[in-house]
Amino acid sequence: MNTDSQDENNLQKGIKAVLFDMDNTLFDLVGAQIAACNSVVGHLGQVDGDELFLYFLEGSHGFESTENIRQYMEERRIPTNGMFEHACRIYHHEKLRNITPYPGVIKTLKAIQDRGYAMAIVTDAEYPDARMRLDKCGLLPFFDAMVTFDRIGVKKPAPEPFFAALDAVGAKPDEVLFVGDSPRRDIEPCRKLGIRTVYARYGDRFSKTRESHGADFVVDQMDELLDIVKDMPVSSPRPARKNQTY
């Protein structure tokens, strides 16, 4: 755990809740996508799954849109009639099958729950996908609320998802801790809102620099989060579990 940016007041001030990004913070979505792309290109008689993954990473259709598969096929003159739908089924199945929680995630969430903190997810994924992924990993029961793109209508770093999460756990910005892997979509907006942040550096595959990015804390594996929250008192009793979605 990197402690260079820690401030003693950040540890001593109590919190009510811990908020989490989901993809690449709780599990490796990128790795699961790459595995799914490898399966798709094998089905299509191609050899390089990384080429297909670049369409998801750099294309105009969005990071999870299967239209990236259609574009990949069309540009290689692979017939889409019938084959595209089957390729999409392979992609969805293999992506979900390859999602597993990072080491230490279940232990960490259980310990945080036992300490009495509320927990919520703030994700750019849509609710059906978020629910399936959390359920696949056995993580769904830990969370009191999920804030998803389809329920809010805007994605991070817009402030609305974070405001919805604060409302869900009944807390002010300085009463929560946010854990996320993206400096731009997680750390920066939270800092602007006055939310204390934990940079999940282990999940960040895309930043040019993997320094603290101004986060209050940096962790290189999930269970390092326990060393942070153990010194933070619970500022109020855990609210009743609502299982809200936003």
Residues 6+ apart with CB under 8 A from 78: 44, 45, 46, 72
Peptide bond into 233 cis (omega under 30): no
Helix 49-58 vs helix 29-43: crossing angle, to nearest 10: 130
pLDDT exceeds 80 at position 29: yes
pLDDT class of 176 with cuts at 50, 70, 90: very high
Give domain limits for the chain: 8-28+100-245, 30-97
Q: Which pairs from 5-13 meet CB under 8 Å and 24+ separation?
A: 5/212, 5/214, 5/215, 5/216, 5/217, 5/218, 6/216, 6/217, 7/216, 10/196, 10/216, 10/217, 11/228, 11/231, 11/232, 12/231, 12/232, 12/233, 13/174, 13/232, 13/235
Mean pLDDT of 93-110: 98
Taking alpha carbons only, the member of 10, 24, 5 closest to residue 200 is 24
pLDDT exceeds 80 at position 244: no
CB 185 within 8 A of CB 158: no
**Is 8-28+100-245 in CATH node 3.40.50.1000?**
yes
Q: How many helices (H) and strands (E) does the chain have?
A: 11, 7
Mean pLDDT of 67-81: 96
Which of the pair, 245 or 32, is modelled with greater confidence?
32
- Predicted confidence at residue 4, as pLDDT, reads 46
Which of the pair, 25 or 10, is modelled with greater confidence?
25
Give the neighbor-by-neighbor strand order of the sheet with 118-122: 217-219, 196-200, 176-180, 17-20, 118-122, 145-147, 244-245
3 state SS of 82: coil
Give per-residue pLDDT as tens, 123-145: 999 999 999 999 999 999 999 99
Give per-residue pLDDT as tens, 197-227: 999 999 998 887 777 789 999 999 999 999 9
Count of CA atoms in the C-beta half-sphere (13 A) of 54: 5
Q: 3-state DSSP: the chain helix, strand, coil percent, rounded to 5?
A: 50, 15, 40
